[in-house]
Amino acid sequence: MEKNMNDAYSNAMEQLKEVKELIGLDDNVYEQLKEPKRLTRVAIPVKMDNGQTKVFIGYRSQFNDARGPFKGGIRFHPGVSESEVKALSAWMTWKTATVNLPLGGGKGGVIVDPKQLSVGELERLSRGYIKALYNVLGPTVDVPAPDVYTTPQIMAWMLDEYESIVGHHAPGVITGKPLSLGGSAGRGESTALGGVFVLEEAIAKIGLTKNASVAIQGLGNAGGTMAKLLAKAGFKVVAVSDSQGAIYKAEGLDVPAVLAHKAKGGKLSELGGAIDDALAVEADILIPAALENSITADNVGVIKAKMILELANGPITPEADKILAGKNILVVPDILANAGGVAVSYFEQVQNAYNYYWTETEVNDKLKQLMTDSFNQAWAKKEQYQTTMRLGTYALAVGRVAEAMKARQA
Ligand code: GLU
């Protein structure tokens, strides 16, 4: 069978193979990292508003828990597939290890376009997901969180469903909750803020400054917040895009105005400066913040940026990655660049366990320290192996996972 170059799981496994060769990963460990430890597929019946029952397919992929409970979000998206959740669960395993959290990696998803559901249908689907999977979840087993198109409100319904079934409070079973149910201050902006801390370290390495120009693909929670934070920090955000279009302004966009326009349901193109592709603009820094495989061998040639910060999971295929490395474009990989989200999820779990809560300043200070240290540790690996930032980061992460696996097996 011909290999599909954009199949998320084969891409994840190709990256693992590369790092295996680089660091001389133990064969026994490598064999065990080729498949998730457990993959659960469920059919979730939902009573729709019209009285008819519709069945949605959901997954939870529990990739590796050598370092701690499985951890990772739940995605509600029409593009969810077995290959995608498996890949995302592998990436979560490397991500928690990159920032040295005592956690493993997992990921869930439901094949659904949540924009087509009423609020009631969305609640019943969220509760149905937990009803189908609660027996493989738990604060010390597997801890979900938000991902693409899932929100704190969805986490609240899921928590409530879990607690109703088990008959006691268990706030640590899910993160990204609303503050009123034990969520952490700072969790909402943490993916982007973590990305900013990493970006600040990375630009210093290649001689860029805080007035560098930036293009951002994707304006969801991660991309939208990133645009806001970068503009506030003095960066020139020259292009943004969403699933419907892209806009460009050489002297910099008015980011708060763009986000306000989108928040009230407006289209980017209504703001003027419409372009075909945010990836192709003249900008020092490119930030893909949408879905997997947005940069492939077919379109990588249009990129003019000096560095790419992967705020999305898996936006660059391995083939495209090699082309970028050949052009000496610094790629800060997803498992480091977007790890701020799961880092604050971990802080949320710690606060839940203590039933004692931190201020947003305390959370953000801890996040800054963690992201800065992790960037520098990954950079040191890149230097040690004379390789790309992606492989340096993978060497750090996979090395840590392997060490925990071997300690359990010795
Ligand atoms: N969905 C986010 C990610 O891909 C956060 C996961 C979490 O907080 O567990 O990293």
pLDDT at 3 over 90: no
C-alpha 341 – ligand 1 centre gap (Å): 6
Distances, alpha carbon 30 to alpha carbons 9, 36, 147, 385, in Å: 15, 12, 28, 19
The model's pLDDT over 343-399, given as tens digits with 9 standing for 90+, comes to 999 999 999 999 999 999 999 999 999 999 999 999 999 999 999 999 999 999 999
Q: Would the CB of 147 count as within 6 Å of ligand 1?
A: yes
Q: Please name the residue that has the structure tokens 């008015």.
A: 254
Whole-number pLDDT of residue 6: 74
Per-domain boundaries in the chain: 35-174, 190-337
The whole-chain average pLDDT of the chain stands at: 96
Q: Is the CB of 74 within 6 Å of ligand 1?
A: no
> Could you tell me if 116 and 49 are in contact, meaning their C-beta atoms sit under 8 angstroms apart?
no
Domains 35-174 and 190-337 share a fold: yes
Residue 229 has pLDDT above 80, yes or no: yes
Is 20 annotated in the active site?
A: no
Query: At residue 167, what is the residue type?
Result: G
**Fold designation for 190-337:** Rossmann fold (3.40.50)
Give the pLDDT score at 304. Answer: 96
Tens-place pLDDT, residues 89-147: 999 999 999 999 999 999 999 999 999 999 999 999 999 999 999 999 999 999 999 99
Share of the chain above pLDDT 90, in %: 97
Which atom belonging to ligand 1 lies closest to the Cα atom of 338? 10
**52 Cα: distance to centroid of ligand 1 (angstroms):** 33
Ligand 1 center to residue 183 CA distance, Å? 14
Q: Examine the pLDDT at 289 and tell me if it is beyond 90.
A: yes
Atom of ligand 1 nearest to the CA of 143: 9
- pLDDT of 4 > 80? The answer is no
Instruction: Judge contact between 215 and 279, C-beta under 8 A.
Output: yes
Q: Is the pLDDT of residue 410 over 70?
A: no
The SS3 call for residue 114 is helix
Domain 35-174, architecture per CATH? 3-Layer(aba) Sandwich (3.40)
What is the rounded average pLDDT of the residues 175-202? 98
Residue 368 tokens, joined: 């800054």
The answer to whether residues 223 and 289 touch, using CB atoms and an 8 Å cutoff, is yes
CB atoms within 10 A of CB 241: 26
Tens of pLDDT, residue by residue over 329-340, are: 999 999 999 999
The pLDDT tens digits of the residues spanning 250-277 come to 999 999 999 999 999 999 999 999 999 9
72 lines ligand 1 (CB under 6 A): yes
Cβ of residue 77 lying under 6 Å from some atom of ligand 1: no
> Which pLDDT score, from 0 to 100, does residue 113 have?
98
State residue 2's pLDDT score.
Answer: 41
pLDDT greater than 80 at residue 1: no
- Confidence category of residue 5, pLDDT binned at 50, 70, 90: low
CB 32 within 8 A of CB 409: no
Q: Annotated catalytic residue: which of 95, 107, 249, 262?
A: 107
For residue 346, the CA-to-ligand 1 centroid distance in Å is 10
CA of 81 to the centre of ligand 1 (A): 17
pTM: 0.96
With a 6 Å cutoff on the Cβ, whether 342 touches ligand 1 is yes
Would the CB of 313 count as within 6 Å of ligand 1? yes
